[in-house]
Amino acid sequence: MAETQSAESFHAVILAGGRGSRLYPFTAALPKPLLPIGERPLIELIVRRLTAFGAIRITVAVNHLADLVESFLGDGQRFGVPVDYVRESMPLGTAGPLGLVKPWHGPLVVTNGDVLSDIDIGGLIADHRRRGASLSVATMIQKTRIESGVLTTDAADRVVNIIEKPVLEHCISLGVYVLAEHVAELVVPNERLEMPQLVMKLVERGEPVVAYQHAGRWLDIGCPEDLAKAQADAASWAEIPGIGGKREATV
């Protein structure tokens, strides 16, 4: 498939201020976004992917060991994209840092600083535009197998059905979002706000919040087991277009 340009240029925010407490002691001396995945820190893989899809500015929200993140990324010149920073004076959650970024113009791509994926950012933005969304959430279907028989009972505890080892499906958030420009009005500077709270604020106002289904690769590096998995598979992550090679086409 021939390579194409991304849907449009965009501003991106990487949320990189978390303490990474579940990854201690790895995060005692390094912030989670600087943990190595093969030869490159996690945040570099994220920056390269965003840049490949047309990011013309990346803002990094920092707090824990902020100096190390800023020292590594610098002004972004070596990655081919301007990088700037907002510092949280206290932990502001997964949406609160956006209050330090605003105003932004056009769609804002927001990504957690601890996820690896091959999400089609261009496709995500195009879908956001096409559907007139206030906020788009990259999602995927996660399947969970229950290793027992699951019973359904009535009010008198009489069994009315039993399903042996069912597989449950849930639509989960991947920690990657696109926000419309006006959403900035709902984020108060220096006030803690989680992304689920922001999503529900919009839903309660009757604004369109949509899911963008992703069927490819994704890994949330939240615990030592996930970090080990990412490091063991570092070579294949490095081969993802936009990280270690050309970006795939966006259709």
pLDDT averaged over the chain? 89
Rounded to an integer, what distance in angstroms lies between the CA atom of residue 225 and that of residue 221? 8
Q: Say what the pTM is.
A: 0.88
pLDDT value, residue 27: 67
Give the whole-angstrom CA distance, residue 212 versus residue 209. 10
Q: Residues 15, 93: contact at Cβ < 8 Å?
A: no
Q: Which domains does the chain have, with CATH numbers?
A: 10-139+173-238 (3.90.550.10)
| pLDDT tens figures, 3-14 | 334 557 899 999
Percentage of residues of the chain with pLDDT beyond 90: 71
Taking residues 78-101, what's their average pLDDT? 94
Is residue 100 scored above 70 in pLDDT?
Answer: yes
